[in-house]
Amino acid sequence: MVDYITIEDRNLLHEATKSLVSLLKNHVINNREETRLTGALLKRTWRAVLACPGFTPTMKDDIMVICEINTDYAVEFGLAPFAAEWRYLWTIGPKRGVPNDLLMVSFQNLS
């Protein structure tokens, strides 16, 4: 249903997601006695966010920074190298499986 979501809606969803993931991460770190809010839940949450086709590479990179996720996961989820540099491309991302060297050459030509 991405055709029915505006860029503003996407940005609002991203801000809400960042806030919720930050809250969950802080709760997991500071309140280890809670049985329902665990590191496993945090991991499932950030994996769902990174797999979401509605978020741009830059938005997904924000989540990786918040959760301090190893960059090896970027490849698994189809994020481009240097995803933070994709901030000007609000609605597109790289196609999965495109070699990183080809992607970087194409990106440098856009800059």
For the stretch 30-42, pLDDT in tens is: 886 667 888 899 9
49 closest CA partner among 6, 98, 10? 10
Mean per-residue pLDDT for 17-39?
A: 87
Range from 16-25, 48-57, 97-106 carrying the lowest mean pLDDT: 97-106
pLDDT confidence tier of residue 94, bands split at 50, 70 and 90: low
Mean per-residue pLDDT for 106-110?
A: 59
For 75, the token pair is 């490849």
> Which amino acid, one-letter code, is at 62?
D
Task: Give the span between the Cα atoms of 7 and 91, in whole angstroms.
Answer: 7
Q: What is the pLDDT of residue 103?
A: 66
69 versus 21: the higher-pLDDT residue is: 21
pLDDT confidence tier of residue 57, bands split at 50, 70 and 90: confident
Question: Residues of 47-74 as b/e, b for ≥16 C-beta within 10 angstroms?
Answer: bebbebeebbbbbbbbbbebbebeeeeb
